[in-house]
Amino acid sequence: RMAVGCLVELAFKVAAGEIKNGFAVIRPPGHHAEESTAMGFCFFNSVAISAKLLQQKLSVGRIL
């Protein structure tokens, strides 16, 4: 949960223009987690959660 929270905070700061860009060095990275299954010691997909929250809270359309 802490890794996801760090990435969400970073993503919101970039989207709001508080900072120009960011790079999150977090463990676990979350890239193995699937929608309903934890895999490779990853329980949450940090990037997917951050992207979804940006779309819901800030109405961000596309995320590349």
Q: Evaluate whether residue 63 is within a structural domain.
A: no
Q: Evaluate whether residue 33 is within a structural domain.
A: yes
pLDDT score, position 45: 94
Residue 31: active-site member? no
**How many alpha carbons fall within 13 Å on the CB side of residue 41?**
4
Domain span at residue 34 reads 2-58
Share of the chain above pLDDT 90, in %: 77
Share of the chain above pLDDT 70, in %: 100
Q: Evaluate whether residue 38 is within a structural domain.
A: yes
Q: Evaluate whether residue 29 is within a structural domain.
A: yes
pLDDT at 46 over 80: yes
Q: Evaluate whether residue 20 is within a structural domain.
A: yes
Of 32, 48, 52, 53, catalytic: 32
Q: Domains in the chain: how many in total?
A: 1
Annotate the chain with DSSP letters as a single string.
-HHHHHHHHHHHHHHTTSSS------SS--TT--SS--BTTB-S-HHHHHHHHHHHHH------
pLDDT at 29 over 90: no
Q: Evaluate whether residue 34 is within a structural domain.
A: yes
Better-scored residue on pLDDT, 62 or 57: 57
For residue 62, CA distances in Å to 32, 37, 52 come to 22, 25, 10
Q: Evaluate whether residue 64 is within a structural domain.
A: no
Predicted TM-score of the model (pTM): 0.85
pLDDT at 1 over 80: no
